[in-house]
């Protein structure tokens, strides 16, 4: 029996031990759980946001800079021109405009065929005068009700709602929770595209320099040294200015083009060691094309280090994007970005609401970056064969 168990253990592939080391690393599993949760939130997007309008940009001036947990009544007034129906997939990806406008109110009363409301007093402002709306004006053409009592009941049930802003509102009266959720999608999207660009460029440059050697290696090394000497944030700013544009896709490209050097250095070092192996020399003697040797024999043998460095670069990309948006060079309004939200809160740092507007997006950035760093450390240990398994 002992011999059978020993043979079974000997026949296990290296991936089994990598997986077991990773599963036994509790901090890495916590980081992976946070990342998976963030991915689910980013995918669902508008489907789970309290404010499902495009870019979560439904701002109400009367409720700007409110603290977390603020609640109020709102009166919904149907718009004359309703938006076209949006299919579920388009709704999850892009949201949908509301078919009504909203007015925060303190109280209301029915008077015949009209509704009188007292608008909510905004910060440091005099109370607005009571406003009167015809009942038919509120419901628009969507309700075919002739009885006044039925119309009043419909308005109370469907058009006067209690609205709670669980994480407060920003300086434009927009729901902070909705913008944080949508910011998750932007941060993960920029991280994914930036890592993908860095891997493609870094593998190409590192593989060319490491495999061919000679003047090619000197040229690639010189290029890596020059790019490595420039601070990342300055390089991103230069790329943004060179492209003469600002926005989400420019941020994707700019961040990706600043992170390939570390990938190239790792790939070059790995190939310099692997190309001296016997199986590579045998492939060269047999006349196997150089592209095939690099793609099928060299790169698969360095997947471990590439996965580890890609995870670390993901965290760096999130930080760089937040810094760019804070400076106004990344994602542009009204699209929500965690870095831009920190900047908006920083401008109100003297007010009580400014503390929440800085703290909440900063906490999101810190937690997500920490999760990727924990997972990166766990992957590094998982690919290290010197670390023993507790239950091998």
Model confidence pLDDT, tens digit, residues 149-164: 788 888 888 888 899 9
The predicted-structure confidence for 1-11, as pLDDT tens digits, reads as follows 444 455 555 57
The predicted-structure confidence for 82-96, as pLDDT tens digits, reads as follows 767 788 888 898 888
What's residue 364's pLDDT? 95
**Residue 328, CA distances (Å) to 238, 247, 259, 319, 339 in order:** 14, 10, 20, 14, 9
Name, of 81-85, 130-134, 362-366, the range with top average pLDDT.
362-366
What's residue 365's pLDDT? 95
Nearest to residue 110, comparing CAs of 152, 82, 154, 67? 152
Provide the token pair at 100: 């009504």
**Which residue intervals of 176-277 are DSSP H helices?**
176-212, 214-229, 232-242, 248-256, 260-274
For the chain, give the mean pLDDT. 84
What's residue 383's pLDDT? 85
Q: Tokens 């047999």 sit at which residue?
A: 286
**Which residue intervals of the chain are DSSP H helices?**
2-10, 14-23, 26-44, 88-94, 135-139, 148-154, 176-212, 214-229, 232-242, 248-256, 260-274, 278-285, 290-292, 303-327, 338-346, 352-382
Say if pTM beats, i.e. exceeds, 0.85: yes
């Amino acid at each position: 029996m002992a011999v059978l168990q020993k043979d079974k253990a000997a026949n296990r592939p290296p991936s089994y031990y990598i997986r077991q080391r990773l599963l036994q690393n509790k901090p890495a599993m916590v980081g992976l759980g946070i990342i998976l949760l963030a991915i689910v939130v980013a995918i669902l997007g508008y489907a789970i946001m309290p404010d499902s309008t495009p870019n979560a940009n439904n701002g109400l001036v009367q409720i700007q800079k409110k603290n977390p947990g603020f609640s109020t009544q709102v009166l919904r007034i149907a718009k004359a021109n309703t938006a076209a129906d949006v299919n579920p997939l388009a709704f999850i990806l892009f949201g949908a405009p509301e078919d009504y406008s909203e007015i925060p109110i303190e109280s209301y009363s029915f008077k015949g065929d009209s509704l009188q409301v007292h608008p909510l007093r905004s910060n440091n402002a005099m109370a607005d005068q009571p406003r009167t709306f015809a009942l038919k004006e509120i419901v628009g053409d969507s309700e075919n009700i002739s009885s006044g009592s039925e119309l009043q009941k419909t308005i109370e049930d469907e058009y006067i709602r209690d609205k709670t802003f669980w994480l407060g509102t920003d300086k434009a009266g927009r729901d902070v929770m909705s913008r944080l959720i949508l910011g998750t999608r932007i941060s993960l999207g920029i991280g994914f595209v930036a890592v993908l660009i860095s891997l493609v460029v870094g593998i190409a440059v590192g593989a060319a320099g490491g495999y061919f050697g000679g003047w090619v290696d000197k040229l690639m090394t010189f290029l890596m040294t020059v790019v490595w000497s420039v601070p990342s944030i300055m390089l991103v700013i230069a790329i943004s200015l060179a492209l003469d544009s600002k926005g989400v896709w420019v941020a994707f490209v700019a961040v990706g083009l600043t992170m390939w050097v570390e990938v190239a250095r790792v790939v070059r070092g790995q190939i310099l060691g692997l190309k001296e192996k016997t199986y590579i020399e045998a492939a060269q003697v047999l006349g196997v094309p150089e592209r095939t040797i690099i793609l099928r024999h060299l790169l698969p043998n360095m997947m471990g280090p590439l996965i580890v460095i890609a995870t670390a670069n993901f965290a760096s990309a999130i930080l760089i994007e937040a810094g760019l948006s804070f400076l106004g060079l990344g994602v542009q309004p009204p699209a929500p970005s965690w870095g831009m939200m920190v900047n908006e809160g920083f401008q109100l740092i003297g007010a009580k609401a400014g503390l929440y507007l800085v703290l909440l997006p900063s906490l999101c950035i810190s937690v997500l970056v920490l999760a990727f760093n924990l997972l990166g450390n766990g992957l590094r240990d998982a690919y290290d064969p010197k670390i023993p398994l507790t239950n091998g």
